[in-house]
Chains A and B, each alone.
Chain A
Amino acid sequence: MTATADATTPAGEVPSFEVTLRIRRMNPEGTSDHAAGEEYWEEFKIQAHATDRVLDALHKVKWDLDGSLAFRRSCAHGVCGSDAMRINARNRLACKTLLKDLNPAKPILIEPIKGLPVEKDLIVDMEPFFASYREIMPFLMTDGPAPERERLQTPAERERFEDTTKCIMCAACTSACPVFWTDGQFFGPQAIVGAHRFIFDSRDEGQWDRLEILNDKAGVWKCRTAFNCTEACPRGIEVTKAISEVKKALNTGEI
């Protein structure tokens, strides 16, 4: 994977190029050049292939150039949702973004996602984000005794909330939301997506508890339909549409 390009490039090998990463850094303990907690830009030049993703480039920096660089990643294949970051001023997953798609002629800007407190370099404190998700009670709520076998639903009933089941909780949407940036009071798009997944599930009976929570001052009404969330979602969820469906359910009283 990390084969370096040399003078005798074999036929068929992917072309390689030099790329500059400009990374927003912060060390809570400080370094020899920077005070504790100070935020600064640092540039790294690396050799990359056309098949490399931003995550591969970050690995190269961490493994070969500067081991103190901190970022989260787990599965590295766009499923775990650990490596959402702000790349060239847009929230994306580092593991799903190819360097060649980002104009490698210019430095590639990599920042932590906005609106959440930075802990170190690209790692942010996700707790406020998870707290919002917990508040909408993301678990099946039912009345009466549990059936002996599984709870059935038709394909059409399943289709109703199919889109919002795809969420991987990477926080790309919530940290792209201009309302979330302002005061951190807003639930954020992800919590509403998480609620949508249960509100429109025919097996669930806690819809109105969740809708009542989202009817709050910090709930869906803070949404200004900026569409940043829909644009940012690496899973292609129509987030703004889901939020509008929750608003509609609240306005009409029908689910």
Chain B
Amino acid sequence: MSAPELIDPKPRIRSGRTRRKAERWSWMFMRLSGLVLVLLIFTHLTVNLVLGEGVSQIDFAFVAGKWADWWWQVADFLMLLLAMLHGGNGMRLLINDYAHSKAWRSALMGVLHLSMVVVIVLGSLVIWTFDPCPVDADMSLLPSFCEDVLQ
């Protein structure tokens, strides 16, 4: 009596993707960016809402004062970028899970990517091209150092 001959398993056709490490990097990115975001967001919340006069201190002058410091510009830009990429990647995974038809998938992916690009570009513009002392503005609304700049 002889055992039936074993046939090699068929080659996989589950996903014909060539970017074989993409999902691993996506997984790693989510963990690392999540860690950094926790630090950034809690610093942000503490500085804006807890220290000083709390929420009532936030006005144009407060924001302008923060962004006069390059460190805050970098921190806020990093927070914007990581939050959008982290959230966007999470949404991508959700769409992969729940949007089954091709039309729905590409529509949702399109909206997702477009919104990510728009928010990142607009946010970066605000952070990096911010003018703390616009000409012709009410002096009482501006940070104190503008008096030297505008006069």
Contact = CB atoms under 8 A, between A and B. Distances in A.
Interface in B1-53: 9, 12, 14-15, 17, 20-24, 26-28
B23 A251 contact: no
Nearest to A182: B97
Given A135-B14, A185-B14, A217-B15, A250 B100 contact: no
Nearest to B20: A215
B71 interface: no
Interface string A216-241: 11110110000000000000000000
A247 B24 CA distance: 9
A194 to B, nearest CB: 13
Interface in A128-165: 134-135, 137
Give the residue among A182, A183, A221, A251 with the most B Cβ atoms within 10 A. Answer: A221
Contacts, number: 42
Contact of A182 (B24, B26, B98): B98
B120 to A, nearest CB: 24
A217 B24 contact: no
A165 B24 CA distance: 26
Contacts of B97: 179, 182-183
A216 B98 contact: no
Contacts of B22: 217
A251 B28 contact: yes
Contacts of A250: 24
A253 B83 CA distance: 29
Give the residue among B14, B17, B27, B98 with the most A Cβ atoms within 10 A. Answer: B14
A38 interface: no
A225 to B, nearest CB: 11
A185 B145 CA distance: 59
Contacts of A215: 20-21, 23-24
Interface in A156-187: 179, 182-183, 185
Contacts of A212: 20
A135 B15 CA distance: 13
B140 to A, nearest CB: 51
Contact of B24 (A137, A183, A221): A221
Contacts of A135: 9, 12, 14
Give the residue among B17, B26, B27 with the most A Cβ atoms within 10 A. Answer: B27
Contact of B23 (A137, A182, A183, A217): A217
A250 B14 CA distance: 19
Interface of A: 134-135, 137, 179, 182-183, 185, 212-213, 215-219, 221-222, 247, 250-251
15 contacts: A179-B97, A182-B97, A182-B98, A183-B97, A183-B100, A185-B14, A215-B24, A216-B17, A217-B23, A218-B15, A221-B23, A221-B26, A222-B23, A247-B27, A251-B24
Interface of B: 9, 12, 14-15, 17, 20-24, 26-28, 96-98, 100
Given A217-B14, A217-B23, 10 more contacts: A135-B9, A182-B98, A215-B20, A215-B24, A217-B15, A218-B14, A219-B23, A221-B24, A247-B27, A251-B28
